[in-house]
Amino acid sequence: MNPIYTQAKFINSSPHLKNTPADQGKEIAFAGRSNAGKSSAINTLTRQNSLARTSKTPGRTQMLNFFEINAQQRFVDLPGYGYAKVPLDVKKEWHKLMETYLTHRKSLCAIILVMDVRHPLTEFDLQMIEWCQHTKLPLHILLTKADKLTYGAAKNTLLQVQKALEDVEIPLTIQLFSALKKTGIDEVHQALDEFFHSTSSEPEPQ
């Protein structure tokens, strides 16, 4: 694996877009519905057990959590709301925050969208995909918790999700992943390397 990611350090958490690290270098954001397995994925990819907090209680925090890999590269753990039944004002707040972040953050170069392989393409996920198309951000999808399904069933879901998104007009890759079994790590690292090193991934001005 590329050892660079193990150097990731927590910088700060912010409930809004003030107090965020300077908007320079390159940032890759991890998005996903609450409880999808985002924090676990970040921990697995950085080989640190408690870098991003993981929780069994969904939807507790609505923070943007910033992690520095080096002076020019960052990860952001984006807030995700819980289930479809969250109050409307929580959804609206999230909507506003995400839209502002995704549209204005110049260093943002790609999104890693984390979905539970057993519940892919929720309303949350579709919204994120729509925003990525709108802002022309490349997208890499992790179908995580693959260990919860047989290999055949997981592979089937992968094919179904690929088919459902075949008309999406941005660079889009999809893979199976498991933080528990530590599978799929090399594939994610490859995607991260490409996003961080590609020169053409800056979102176009709005």
Ligand X SMILES: Nc1nc2c(ncn2[C@@H]2O[C@H](COP(=O)(O)OP(=O)(O)O)[C@@H](O)[C@H]2O)c(=O)[nH]1
Nearer to ligand X among residue 68 and residue 77 (C-beta) = 77
Q: Is 144 in the site for ligand X (CB under 6 A)?
A: yes
Nearer to Mg ion among residue 61 and residue 198 (C-beta) = 61
Q: What tokens were used for 125?
A: 């996920």
Query: Which residue, 115, 100, 103, 29, is CA-closest to 65?
Result: 29
**What does DSSP assign to residue 47?**
T
Q: Is 66 in the site for ligand X (CB under 6 A)?
A: no
Whether 25 contacts 74, CB under 8 Å: yes
Residue 171's binding partner out of Mg ion, ligand X, none, with CB under 5 to 8 Å set by partner kind: none
CB 38 to Mg ion: min, Å:
5
CB 146 to ligand X: min, Å:
7
SS3 state at 168: coil
Long-range contact set of residues 153-161: C-beta below 8 Å, sequence gap at least 24 = 154/117, 157/117, 157/118, 157/120, 160/120, 161/115, 161/120, 161/121
Among 26, 38, 74, 140, binds ligand X (CB under 6 A): 38
Going from the C-alpha of 204 to that of each of 86, 111, 137, 146, the distances in angstroms are: 32, 15, 9, 34
Q: Is 46 in the site for ligand X (CB under 6 A)?
A: no
d(CA 183, CA 160): 20
Q: What tokens were used for 127?
A: 């919204």
Q: Is 43 in the site for Mg ion (CB under 5 A)?
A: no
Binding mask 12-31 for ligand X (x = CB under 6 A): --------------------
d(CA 105, CA 128): 15
Among 5, 33, 39, 192, binds Mg ion (CB under 5 A): 39
Nearer to ligand X among residue 36 and residue 201 (C-beta) = 36
CB 56 to ligand X: min, Å:
4
Nearer to Mg ion among residue 39 and residue 135 (C-beta) = 39
Q: Is 111 in the site for ligand X (CB under 6 A)?
A: no
Q: Which residues bind ligand X (CB under 6 A)?
A: 32, 34-40, 54-56, 80, 144-145, 147-148, 178-180
Q: Which residues bind Mg ion (CB under 5 A)?
A: 38-39
